[in-house]
């Protein structure tokens, strides 16, 4: 989402943009968040760190455990999301650079209908939408990772032609 916003504002600085795990619906306006208090600074938990791994068999338990240990060490405090109304500035119609939209089949944050509405708004015909079968929000670590890498490399090579 940050890459999209930057590409909208500074298209000459981008050759393309890739969107993955994209949770935004272009037809939904996020209400103004006026919360100015201190963030809750909730601790990261093992359960929260493992929460993206929802497809049975898509990743080994050893890999999940390793990821959780690394997440707990690197990020002892969960990200405090606020001021989400700022994402209302995202507008597919302003994406003039080539776009690769990657959607994991079982990603609970992604919405196929919202992706379709975004995709048709992108004015650049150099765009691709790839669904990663069998993956969830952590598809880059799961069995669909080869498809994700392949789609990304193919897109970059296609852009070089």
* pLDDT, tens digit (0-9, with 9 covering 90-100), for 109-141: 999 999 999 999 999 999 999 999 999 999 999
Question: What is the model's pLDDT at position 82?
Answer: 85
Question: What is the model's pLDDT at position 38?
Answer: 85
Dist. CA 103–CA 111, nearest whole Å: 9
Name the phi and psi angles at 19, rounded to 5.
Answer: -115, 130
Question: What is the model's pLDDT at position 75?
Answer: 93
**DSSP string covering 1-38, please?**
-HHHHHHHH-GGG-S-EEEES----TT-PPPP----S-
Question: What is the model's pLDDT at position 55?
Answer: 97
Q: Which contacts (CB < 8 Å, 24+ apart) does range 83-86 have?
A: 83/33, 83/35, 84/30, 84/33, 85/29, 85/30, 85/31, 85/32, 85/33
* pLDDT, tens digit (0-9, with 9 covering 90-100), for 80-97: 888 899 999 999 999 999
Domain segments of the chain as ranges: 2-24+39-160
pTM above 0.85, yes or no: yes
* pLDDT, tens digit (0-9, with 9 covering 90-100), for 26-81: 999 999 988 878 888 999 999 999 999 999 999 999 999 999 999 999 999 998 88
Give the homologous superfamily in CATH for domain 2-24+39-160.
Alpha/Beta hydrolase fold, catalytic domain (3.40.50.1820)
Is residue 102 a contact partner of residue 119, using CB atoms and an 8 Å limit?
no
């Amino acid at each position: 989402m940050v890459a999209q916003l930057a590409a909208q504002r500074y298209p000459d600085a981008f050759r393309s943009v890739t969107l993955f795990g994209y949770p935004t619906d272009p037809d939904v306006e996020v209400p103004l968040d006026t919360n100015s208090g201190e963030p809750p600074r909730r601790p990261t938990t093992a359960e929260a760190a493992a929460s993206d791994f929802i497809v049975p068999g898509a990743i080994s338990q050893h890999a999940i455990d390793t990821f959780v240990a690394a997440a707990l060490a690197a990020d002892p405090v969960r990200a405090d999301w606020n001021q989400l109304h700022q994402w209302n500035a995202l507008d597919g119609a302003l994406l003039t650079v080539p776009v690769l939209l990657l959607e994991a089949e079982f990603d609970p944050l992604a919405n196929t209908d919202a992706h379709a509405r975004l995709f048709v708004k992108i004015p650049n015909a150099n765009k691709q939408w790839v669904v990663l079968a069998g993956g969830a929000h952590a598809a880059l670590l799961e069995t669909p990772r080869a498809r994700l890498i392949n789609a990304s490399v193919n897109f970059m090579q296609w852009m070089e032609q």
